Amino acid sequence: MYEFAVEPAITQLRRPGVIITEVEPDSLAQELELFPNDRIVKVNGRQVRDYLDFRFQTAGETELTFRVKKTNGETLDIEFDREEGEDFGLSFEQIVPRQCANECIFCFCKGNPEDARPSLFVRDEDIRLSFLYGNYTTLSSITEDEMNRIVEQRLSPQYVSIHATDLKTRAYLLGVDESRADISGKLQRLLDADIELHAQVVLCPEINDGKILEQTLRDLADNYPGVISTAVVPVALTRYNTDERLTRVTPEFCQRTIKEVGKLQKEFRKTLGTTFAFLGDEIYVKGGVEIPSRRHYGNYPQIEDGVGMVRSFLNAFDKVLNRRGAETQRSANKRIHPVAIRPKGKNPVAIAPGSDIGTIITGEMFAPVLREQIEKYNFRTGSRFHVLAVPNTYFGGDVSVAGLLTGQDLLKIRDQIEGDFVIIPSSIIKSDEPILLDGMPYEELRSQFSVPIFDLDTHGLINFLSK
């Protein structure tokens, strides 16, 4: 499950063009007398649907005509020249995601409590967001226009949820008929056009595991390097997913999957020179199996999908233990394309605590891993940091990742806080607004604790411990 970065205005009537949200002072846009809320509807006679179109149609152009709808209803054609590469000084509205037409049996929306905040129910299926933010799509209802757009605007890589190459199984998982589930022709068209793909399998025991999984991974690997990598992540069922067709992921299931996929990974490393099919960290942690080495993950192609995050953290932590002051290897989500609009900061830059006695909060899955490292750290440095595993009572079921903890979950463990401060995972706060997954304002959470709360991601935590 993950949430789209913005609160989309899905109820708003969409009008053609892209709306300007900001105009930089002393910029070319200001000189052209463009203002926030003006809508650019055409560039050099071509329609503009969103800021991706705007970027595509202005790229490399020095002689330009903008057709602009002003807020007073006036339409203007503005002709101008710009220097090569000169920035316009414009910011635009976010893309409103296109909604999916599937009925996946494991859909995260079915796992939300009814009162979860609206953005958790957004079922986006949008090739633009796949390119910009690395969101997965199923391609099952992609239109001809969207296919052409991927190719024409080189929206590569695309992130595609395959789940199974066996058609019957894929249709069953997506809850659609086989003709819609069949994306083999579309995938081939994208690969023929040199569009790179990252694939994902949401692994559901007794549905797309075993032989079906092996066939899926082999079929995808046959298309390497067009298909760059595949992430196999376990289905996560909250207590609201009561669909009887779904079976929960057990430690035994994880161990069996690691064994079966391990054989394929070995084969792929020999034939392709890459592990290619990566299992989500949760599968190793739940199965009680050691996390693979750094080499296994190559350049961590699926790290934002929870694949290799633990290894990356452990390696960074080792550097902290050995040298102190080690820098982390990453500081930003590398799946986000440079042209993507990033949500405005939710908080002031997190200031690390000044004391060396405090509590670090995480989910039940990561807690044993983190605790072991922090204990070594305490031993070496004399600090007294305490790792606290917080049960997820809001979503319940087998949700144990840190990123889905809510304000209510945190309030329940207030009396277990030790020391002068609390560090919480920054991923539990909405990316563009200071609220938590259950809608609790961050400020309200802070006011309920008797010690300061700091929100850090794993890199922030490593940096804090490196000081």
Residues at the contact surface with ligand SF4, assessed by CB under 6 A:
100, 102-104, 107, 109, 123, 125, 138
**124 Cβ contact partners less than 8 Å away, ≥ 6 residues apart:** 4, 8, 97, 98, 99, 100, 135
Between 124 and 455, CB nearer to ligand SF4: 124
**Closest distance to ligand SF4 from the beta carbon of 442 (Å):** 27
Between 52 and 104, CB nearer to ligand SF4: 104
**Closest distance to ligand SF4 from the beta carbon of 191 (Å):** 21
Between 28 and 236, CB nearer to ligand SF4: 236
Between 17 and 97, CB nearer to ligand SF4: 97
d(CA 6, CA 340): 12
Between 135 and 400, CB nearer to ligand SF4: 135
Between 53 and 125, CB nearer to ligand SF4: 125
Between 122 and 451, CB nearer to ligand SF4: 122
**Closest distance to ligand SF4 from the beta carbon of 104 (Å):** 3
**Closest distance to ligand SF4 from the beta carbon of 14 (Å):** 20
Between 313 and 395, CB nearer to ligand SF4: 395
**Closest distance to ligand SF4 from the beta carbon of 162 (Å):** 12
**Closest distance to ligand SF4 from the beta carbon of 173 (Å):** 8
Between 241 and 373, CB nearer to ligand SF4: 241
Query: What does the block give as tokens for 247?
Result: 């079976």
**Closest distance to ligand SF4 from the beta carbon of 175 (Å):** 7
Cα–Cα distances in angstroms (integers) from residue 426 to residues 115, 396, 404, 419, 451, in the given order: 22, 20, 11, 20, 17
Between 20 and 160, CB nearer to ligand SF4: 160
**Closest distance to ligand SF4 from the beta carbon of 90 (Å):** 31
**Closest distance to ligand SF4 from the beta carbon of 3 (Å):** 11
Between 119 and 274, CB nearer to ligand SF4: 119
Between 70 and 123, CB nearer to ligand SF4: 123
**Closest distance to ligand SF4 from the beta carbon of 123 (Å):** 3
**Closest distance to ligand SF4 from the beta carbon of 103 (Å):** 6
Q: With helix as H, strand as E and coil as C, how does the chain read?
A: CCCCCCCCCCCCCCCCCEEEEEECCCCHHHHCCCCCCCEEEEECCEECCCHHHHHHHHCCCCEEEEEEECCCCCEEEEEEECCCCCCCCEEECCCCCCECCCCCCCCHHHHCCCCCCHHHHCCECCHHHHHHHCCCECCCCCCHHHHHHHHHCCCCCEEEECCCCCHHHHHHHHCCCHHHHCCHHHHHHHHHCCCCEEEEEEECCCCCCHHHHHHHHHHHHCCCCCEEEEEEEECCCCCCCCCCCCCCCCHHHHHHHHHHHHHHHHHHHHHCCCCCEEECHHHHHHHCCCCCCHHHHCCCCCHHHCCCHHHHHHHHHHHHHHHCCCCCCCCCCCCCCCCCCCCCCCCCCCCCCCCCEEEEEEECCCHHHHHHHHHHHHHHHCCEEEEEEECCCCCCCCCCCHHHCCHHHHHCCHHHCCCCCEEEEHHHECCCCCEECCCCEHHHHHHCCCCCEEEECHHHHHHHHHC
Count of Cβ atoms closer than 10 Å to residue 84 Cβ: 7
Residue type at 370 in one-letter notation: L
Count of Cβ atoms closer than 10 Å to residue 308 Cβ: 27
**Closest distance to ligand SF4 from the beta carbon of 8 (Å):** 13
d(CA 85, CA 195): 26
Query: What does the block give as tokens for 451?
Result: 């010690």
